[in-house]
Amino acid sequence: MNVILSIAKTTIGEAIRRRVLLIILLIGVLFLVIAPGLSVLSARSSYTVLVSFTLGVIQLTSAVIAIVLTVYLLPNEVERRTIYTILSKPVYRWQFLLGKYLGAVGALGLMMALMTGILVLVFKIMQAEAGMDVVMTLARAPMMYFVQMSLLAAVAMFFSTFASPIVNFFLTGGVYLVGTLFSPVFQDIAGNNSVNAMVKTAATVIHTLVPNFAQFNVQNTIINSGSQLRSEQMYYLQLVAYAFAYVAVFLIGGMMIFDRKEV
């Protein structure tokens, strides 16, 4: 475990200093700061605009950071030959991969925590009358985004065991788009008995292989205070378990490929 944590710690230290990630983070933070000014552009209530816009910024920024951060993790180690020094020590490849992944998730968590802190600050300034419970509800969305991004990082890590960074960028981005925009559609088709059997099978396969990223977007329950979940805690636990299962599958798949890969 020490080996994995050491690799993770070093990965965090390096990731939070990578300029490209800091620039993406800075852009996200800038959007969060100017968000209150954008409510005048919309006819909807300032609360709705503020919440949906800021959460959207956090989600998009985090997704870009997760992909850019993870696609380069393994290739950089090979290119700089640090992997040879590390693997010549008593370190198994799966430990190396897991350490890199946990480091990526750790760095992602730090960056998302910063954005969430700014979100809460902006919200408290603009919605001074809002109580602590409202703020806590708002902070729940980034937490689910973090779970979502941890899953996205696992997808990128899986592809990085055999694809180049550029190819990986588009593959992971593609999986995220399909899982975010089309997963509910595939889910509907897979559950619809009236459609063609082949189409149904294809939809089921895609729905199974591509994680449903859309379900981690819990904005609606925050914006629409009228919509209530029957068992909120259970729902979130199920989402975390779902993400955990997919993360495990992608990481184990990645480890199996990486174990045989000639670096």
Partner 1 sequence: MNLAIETKKLTKTYKTSSGMQSVVKDLDLEVEKGEIFGFLGPNGAGKTTTIKILLGIIDGTSGEANVLGRPAGDIESHKRLSYLPEKPYYYEHMTGLEITQFYASLFGIKDKDLCVNLLNRVNLGNDYNRPISQYSKGMQQRVGLAQSLLNDPELLFLDEPTGGLDPIAHIEIRDLILKFRDEGRTVFISSHELSDVERICDRVAIINKGEMVHQGRLDDLLSGGRIEVTADGVAENLVDKFKGDDMTLSLRAGRLIADLPDTMSPNEMIDAIRTGGGSVVSVIPRRKRLEDLFLESVSGDNLAKGRVTGKMTDDDKKADVKEEEVSS
Name the site residues for partner 1 (rule: CB under 8 A).
2-3, 6-7, 10, 13-14, 17, 80-82, 84-92, 262-263
* Cβ distance to partner 1 smaller for residue 87 or 139: 87
CA distances from 157 to 8, 154, 163, 226 (A): 14, 5, 10, 39
* Cβ distance to partner 1 smaller for residue 9 or 140: 9
Least distance CB 98 / partner 1 (angstroms): 14
Least distance CB 90 / partner 1 (angstroms): 4
Number of Cβ atoms within 10 Å of the Cβ of 132 = 8
Alpha helix segments (H runs only) across 16-130: 19-34, 46-71, 73-79, 82-87, 93-126
CA-based nearest residue to 55, from 27, 28, 16: 28
* Cβ distance to partner 1 smaller for residue 44 or 261: 261
Q: Per-residue DSSP letters for 208-228?
A: HHS--GGGG--HHHHH-TT--
Least distance CB 140 / partner 1 (angstroms): 33
Q: Give the total residue count for the chain.
A: 263
* Cβ distance to partner 1 smaller for residue 89 or 230: 89
Amino acid identity of residue 245, one-letter, is: A
Q: Are 165 and 79 in contact (CB under 8 A)?
A: no
Least distance CB 107 / partner 1 (angstroms): 12
Least distance CB 108 / partner 1 (angstroms): 18
Amino acid identity of residue 68, one-letter, is: V
* Cβ distance to partner 1 smaller for residue 63 or 86: 86
Least distance CB 158 / partner 1 (angstroms): 21
The tokens describing 106, both together, are 């750790």
Least distance CB 40 / partner 1 (angstroms): 42
Number of Cβ atoms within 10 Å of the Cβ of 56 = 14
DSSP structural state of residue 89 = S
Number of Cβ atoms within 10 Å of the Cβ of 165 = 19
Q: What is the C-alpha to C-alpha distance for residues 259 and 68, in angstroms, rounded to an integer? A: 23
* Cβ distance to partner 1 smaller for residue 44 or 80: 80
Q: What is the C-alpha to C-alpha distance for residues 146 and 243, in angstroms, rounded to an integer? A: 11
* Cβ distance to partner 1 smaller for residue 6 or 39: 6
